[in-house]
Amino acid sequence: MLHKTGMALSFLCLIHCLSMPFIITILPLVAKGFLNHSLEIILVFTSILIAVALLTKDYKVHHKTTPLIFLLGASILQYIGLFVVIEKQESVFVISGSILMAISYLTNWNMHQKTCSNHSH
């Protein structure tokens, strides 16, 4: 359950980030609600918390650091995008971080499927 929730939030964040240019261009009145910086921070923070919990739990079973390294990189990119760079550069970092987080989930999922006979842990 946590695997699917974490992946869903990561992909939701990615869809949100990728759809923004189109929403802004086509529906400026509707897009106004999506531009809330707090919403982006909440989505990213929640995604990272779930990913840390899930990947740490799986690391204790599989002892594979690759998904955790990807997650660390994703977290750094998203932090830079949300809090360090100017607004024009934000999307590049946040989208890259979302993609890297999705890759960490997929890498973890593949390792989980290949190495674990008990998929209920």
Evaluate if residue 32 carries a pLDDT over 70: no
- Do the beta carbons of residue 57 and residue 107 sit within 8 Å? no
pLDDT of residue 66: 93
Residue 59's Cβ-side half-sphere holds a number of Cα atoms within 13 Å equal to 14
Token code pair at residue 86: 């100017």
Percent of the chain scored above 90 by pLDDT?
A: 31
Convert the pLDDT of each residue in 63-83 to its tens digit: 889 999 999 999 999 999 999
pLDDT of residue 76: 96
Q: Which residue is it, tokens 């359950």?
A: 1
Q: Which residue is it, tokens 């921070």?
A: 41
Q: Is the pTM of this model over 0.75?
A: no
Q: Which residue is it, tokens 């690391």?
A: 59
Q: Higher confidence at residue 118 or residue 14?
A: 14
Task: Out of 9-13, 43-47, 87-91, 107-111, pick the least confident.
Answer: 9-13
Residue type at position 1? M
**Residue ranges covered by each domain of the chain:** 2-115
